Amino acid sequence: MREKNATITVIRMADRIRFVLNDQPVEIDVLSPMTTLLDWLRDHRGLKGTKEGCAEGDCGACTVVLERADGRREAMNSCIALLGQIDGQAVRTVEGLRRPDGTPHPVQAAMAEADATQCGFCTPGFVMSAYAFAAGGEKADLETVHDALAGNLCRCTGYRPIVEAMTRIAGLPIDPAAVAPGRPGSVSFGTFHVPRSLGELLALRARHPDALLLAGATDLGLLASRSRKPPAAVIHVAHVPELTAIREDEKEITIGAAATYAQAMPLLIAHHPALKPYLARLGSRQIRTMGTIGGNLGTASPIGDMPPVLLALETRLALTSPRGTRDLALEDFFLGYRKTALAPDEVIQSLTLPKLWPGEVFFCDKLSKRRDQDISTVAAGYRLRVTKGKIEDVRVGFGGMAATPRRASHVEQALKDQPFSPAAFESAAAAVARDFQPIDDWRGSASYRLTAAANLLRRLYWRIAEPQRAVEVEAL
């Protein structure tokens, strides 16, 4: 059991954290903004319906729902969210579902009727995920239900009644979302700084060189929840419009580094359908509500899911500082284990991916010990252009194979300018061991990683050559 509030510093803030909780306005002026939302709900607000299971974003017992200004409702993990992140937002907990006459919400009633309440400890989290699912007006097909529930663990493994409840919940009429109060300008809660323009962000970075950049906190939030050692100071980039914009033109897609996965996914998937099943396995909906691609790159983990894909798609980064914006190829960003080319005064502003050329295809793979909610053992992205039976261009990115995510240059050489044939992919498979000397760890041995990566390349041939057969084989 974690020691409660071991490192929470109580401070009087010049600015108050303001948000809407269960339709009621809330103001907080005496508490650390680094307190997790979960601790605040349970220990300071007395709302014990939201549970703590793992305290690291994995189990979903702490799920609450963000009610966005545009009416979207998104499930999120309150255990790894910092209170300062909630300023200006509207949040609903399980207590906020109760009807004015005291009767359960239709989502709760549907869970009870389907015998899906079970142990009771995980149930509030399931209910909140189900509430967000119902509010999204989604269909109750198995794939969607699975996706909506992937961030909620049931340790008694009684998922069947919960899935059954979801079929009843789909299409239930849901009340309009609460109105998020918003916040017009920049604000600081003690050492939690929230700029609302790029200029203010850069000025804060210069003024507070030791403050950590904080986007969705799905990595950094673990310092506050699991380790109980929250960062001393942060600059929260989630409300800087220059970092959240998403746009496309004829040639390329540009995604703000602080756009959440939930915001970026529709455009990414529209251009690269292979990303749909891949991104569905990046954390869970709760993680994708808050997490950002900029955070995934900033973390620079060798097993982050976005770098292999973005390397294959020839992504370029816009890195901005008071000196201006420089353009850097993603492959030059990762310098060593969790070491990047980001200068101390820089932020990742956005990433730009060229669109596919005619004849180009893109695929990706993620291998992990568990299908859902698991970090990759090996991840890969591939972009190939095949013209008249010849591989004219190829880019292959791998994660989990070295200290940094990297392109596989020998693999690429083995494929480039070769006839598109099983033999070319066999040579590529053989080249994997020249590109990488992976490590052994509990996720996978070095030999597993080498064998798996080689086999992914062999399978890639069939995915391109005989897509239908590849789909059938993968479904086995």
* Binding-site ranges for ligand FAD (CB under 6 A): 56-58, 80, 212-220, 237, 243, 257-258, 282-283, 287, 290-292, 294-296, 298-299, 304-305, 342, 347-348, 373, 375
Distance separating the N- and C-terminal Cα atoms of the chain: 42
From candidates 8, 34, 39, 52, binder to ligand FES by CB under 6 A:
52
Please state the closest distance from residue 69 (CB atom) to ligand FAD, in A.
Answer: 19
List 33, 49, 57, 298, residue binding ligand FES (CB under 6 A): 57
Smallest CA-to-CA distance from 15 within 194, 180, 182, 200 is with: 194
* Residue choice 119, 329, 335, 343 for contact with ligand FES (CB under 6 A): 119
Among 33, 60, 230, 438, binds ligand FES (CB under 6 A): 60
54 near ligand FES, rule: CB under 6 A:
yes
- 416 vs 286, 420, 435, CA distance in Å? 40, 9, 15
Task: Give the nearest distance from C-beta 417 to ligand FAD in angstroms.
Answer: 33
The neighbouring-strand residues paired with 353 are 253
Query: Is position 6 an interface residue for ligand FES (rule: CB under 6 A)?
Result: no
Partner in contact with 118, chosen from ligand FAD, ligand FES, none, beta carbon below 5 to 8 Å by kind: ligand FES
Q: What's the min distance (Å) between Cβ of 213 and ligand FAD?
A: 4
Q: If binding is defined by CB under 6 A, does position 77 make contact with ligand FES?
A: yes
Q: In 234-250, which positions are buried (b, 16+ CB within 10 angstroms) versus exposed (e)?
A: bbbbbbbebbbeeeeee
To ligand FAD, the closest distance from the beta carbon of 357 in angstroms equals 27
DSSP-assigned states of every residue in 118-145: TTSSSHHHHHHHHHHHHHTT----HHHH
**Of the candidates 338, 456, 445, the residue with the CA atom closest to the CA atom of residue 397:** 456
- Of positions 65, 122, 220, 330, contacts ligand FES by CB under 6 A: 122
Q: What values do phi and psi take at 11, rounded to 5?
A: -130, 155
In this chain, which stretch among 54-62, 314-322, 351-359, 362-370 interacts with ligand FES, using CB under 6 A? 54-62
Q: How far apart are CA 216 and CA 227, in angstroms?
A: 17
Distances from the Cα of 451 to the Cαs of 222, 380, 410, 426, in angstroms?
Answer: 33, 14, 16, 12
Distances (CA, A) of 91 to 24, 40, 70, 241: 10, 13, 14, 22
Minimum Å gap between C-beta 151 and ligand FES is 7
Q: Nearer to ligand FAD by C-beta: 117 or 350? A: 350
How far is CA 212 from each of CA 206, 237, 240, 296, 388, rounded to the nearest angstrom?
Answer: 12, 10, 16, 15, 50
Q: Are 381 and 159 in contact (CB under 8 A)?
A: no
Ranked by CB distance to ligand FAD, the top (closest) residue is 295
The crossing angle, in degrees rounded to 10, of helices 159-169 and 142-149 is 110
- Min CB(61)–ligand FES separation in Å: 5
Residue 42 per-residue DSSP state: I
220 binds, among ligand FES, ligand FAD, none (CB under 5 to 8 A by kind): ligand FAD
Comparing CB distances to ligand FAD, the nearer of 49 and 294 is: 294
Using CB under 6 A as the binding rule, whether residue 66 contacts ligand FES is answered as no
Q: Interface residues with ligand FES (CB under 6 A)?
A: 52-55, 57-62, 77, 79, 118-119, 121-123, 154-156, 158
